[in-house]
Amino acid sequence: MRVEPLSSRLRSGQASESDVVRSAAPGSRSSAGAPWRGGGASAADVTTSRPDADVAPGTDAADTLEPGYLVIVWNDPVNLMNYVTHVFMKVFGWSRTKAERHMLEVHERGKSVVARESLERAEFYVHQLQRYSLQATMERDQ
């Protein structure tokens, strides 16, 4: 029995969507019976559909997002202003201008909100800043 390649069956309308998904799944077997190794169906052969968003009518998609956390750097009498600028450039990848602006805010106002991120990312930034001996905390955004 001769089995046609999936791309030929798709063009002729003999393959169903489940055949496409089954052939593209890792660990599945190709039409020739060999383990799937990226061969078989090409990217053009695989059909994908985007599921509808589960957002209730009248609600904003931003309301369904995870709450953000603010990363705050506090003023301390120990670290030099050039050093704080350097740390901001290293940790956040900022330009010197942006780093200096936040450093001056820390120096003049006593603190600066340097990021608003997800919980894990905010924890990462706080740990990075503390590794450089800066006083940094995080708090939930309102």
Same domain assignment for residues 67 and 113: yes
Same domain assignment for residues 43 and 72: no
Q: How far apart are CA 43 and CA 41, in angstroms?
A: 7
> Domain range holding 19?
1-50
Query: 107 near 136, Cβ under 8 Å?
Result: no
Domain-ending residue, one of 25, 50, 75: 50
Q: How many domains does the chain have?
A: 2
Q: Answer whether residue 57 is part of any domain.
A: no
pTM, to two decimals: 0.55
CB atoms within 10 A of CB 50: 5
Q: Answer whether residue 58 is part of any domain.
A: no
pLDDT digits (tens, 9 = 90+) for 12-37: 666 555 554 444 445 545 444 444 45
* Paired strand residues for 69: 117, 140
Same domain assignment for residues 71 and 125: yes
- Please classify residue 92 by burial: count the beta carbons closer than 10 Å to its beta carbon, then call 0-12 exposed, 13-18 middle and 19+ buried: middle
pLDDT digits (tens, 9 = 90+) for 94-139: 999 999 999 999 999 999 999 999 999 999 999 999 999 999 999 9
Domain containing residue 71: CATH number: 3.30.1390.10
